[in-house]
Amino acid sequence: MRHKSKVILVYLQIFFRESSKVTETCPFYKYLSYPLKASHMKKISLIIISCITLSACITSAMAQTKKKLVWSDEFNYKGLPDSTKWSYDVGGSGWGNNELQYYTLKQEGNARVENGLLIIEAKKENIEKNAYSSARLVTKGKGDWTYGHIDVKARLPKGVGTWPAIWMLGSTTPLKWPDDGEIDIMEHVGYNHGVIHGTTHSRKYFHGIGTQKSATTSIPDCSEAFHVYSMDWDAESITMLIDNKPYFNFRNEHTGNDAWPFNKPFHLLLNIAIGGNWGGQKGVDDTIFPQKMEIDYVRVYQ
């Protein structure tokens, strides 16, 4: 055991020295004279990797425990969404993206809580001048935050033409887009099933000029299983995660509001759009309706 311990110390010294993290002043340096057998390398490598992974997990967990739950909806009731926490965006004007749905107001057919879940449901039905109905819930004025961690556990709709989103907008009134910012925690377009998008928009970085900052990851069972879609947000960066695994990071470059408008209150939005400039690129399959996005909980920590 004593010999193995010294071998581990040798490997640590080599590992850190090669990483330019220590010099000859490191206490491990004196062990470099020990013979290092090839048979030890694999085992020690696994130990090193395990320790680094464990350290990262512990660091992340400790960071989370420092945050307090400041806002949540566990959906442990029945009927319309809690009016002290949620409001509605209403209408069918296309919402700036030539979308096809009409967002309704306080219609349980489109937004309701049942069996411990928030259900947002898109339907094929004529309403006003639109051929589809859906709902867009917002927390503006009832939940507005600057920085924090957000978890939304959800199961997504499926089918060509659907465009569900979990996202945030600046709470400035009136909102000037993209100047006041947009944070897309989760977007999914039905014609590209299983590909999840995380994006930030600002005046300098947005899709209209092809400069948006974004990344994707694959969640093939996103419509069959619940996953936790999350965001970490502070003064220096915004990170998107799924099931606690990060896949996108956007850092504050400290060049001003055009690049980083994310230093003021934002609110949360949950919706299913139908069609539109992005969601409708492959048309809309009318045989798939109705389609639901189911949300198990929404939790905000600061």
Query: What's the domain count of the chain?
Result: 2
The confidence score (pLDDT) of residue 59 equals: 44
Please check whether residues 249 and 295 belong to one and the same domain. Answer: yes
Q: What is the mean pLDDT of residues 214-234?
A: 98
Please check whether residues 222 and 75 belong to one and the same domain. Answer: yes
Please check whether residues 81 and 36 belong to one and the same domain. Answer: no
Q: pLDDT-derived band of residue 96, with 50, 70 and 90 as boundaries?
A: very high
The confidence score (pLDDT) of residue 243 equals: 98
Q: What is the mean pLDDT of residues 231-249?
A: 98
Q: What is the mean pLDDT of residues 33-54?
A: 48
| Average model confidence (pLDDT) across the chain | 86
The confidence score (pLDDT) of residue 65 equals: 58
Over residues 101-140, the pLDDT tens digits come to 999 999 999 999 999 999 999 999 999 999 999 999 999 9
Please check whether residues 212 and 119 belong to one and the same domain. Answer: yes
Please check whether residues 142 and 41 belong to one and the same domain. Answer: no
Please check whether residues 206 and 188 belong to one and the same domain. Answer: yes
The CA distance from 168 to 140, in Å, is: 10
The confidence score (pLDDT) of residue 31 equals: 38
Domain end residue (candidates: 15, 45, 65):
65
Q: What is the mean pLDDT of residues 218-234?
A: 98
**Is-cis flag, bond preceding 157, omega within 30?**
no
Please check whether residues 105 and 30 belong to one and the same domain. Answer: no
The CA distance from 299 to 150, in Å, is: 6
pLDDT at 88 over 70: yes
Are the C-beta atoms of residues 175 and 144 closer than 8 Å to each other?
no
- Listed residue (125, 157, 198) closest to 293, CA to CA: 157
Share of the chain above pLDDT 70, in %: 78
Please check whether residues 155 and 32 belong to one and the same domain. Answer: no
Domain end residue (candidates: 34, 65, 96):
65
Please check whether residues 80 and 8 belong to one and the same domain. Answer: no
pLDDT at 1 over 50: no
The CA distance from 89 to 120, in Å, is: 13
Please check whether residues 150 and 14 belong to one and the same domain. Answer: no
Please check whether residues 124 and 12 belong to one and the same domain. Answer: no
The CA distance from 97 to 160, in Å, is: 17
The confidence score (pLDDT) of residue 180 equals: 97
pLDDT at 167 over 70: yes
Q: Which residues are identified as catalytic?
A: 182, 187
Please check whether residues 41 and 91 belong to one and the same domain. Answer: no
Over residues 255-287, the pLDDT tens digits come to 999 999 999 999 999 999 999 999 999 999 999
Domain end residue (candidates: 23, 46, 65):
65
The confidence score (pLDDT) of residue 66 equals: 84
pLDDT at 204 over 80: yes
Q: pLDDT-derived band of residue 64, with 50, 70 and 90 as boundaries?
A: low
Q: Which amino acid is at 299?
A: R
Q: Which residues contact 286 (CB under 8 A, 6 or more apart)?
A: 124
Q: Give the domain range for residue 229.
A: 69-301
Q: What is the mean pLDDT of residues 145-159?
A: 98
CATH code assigned at 244: 2.60.120.200
pLDDT at 44 over 60: no
- Listed residue (153, 136, 151, 167) closest to 266, CA to CA: 167
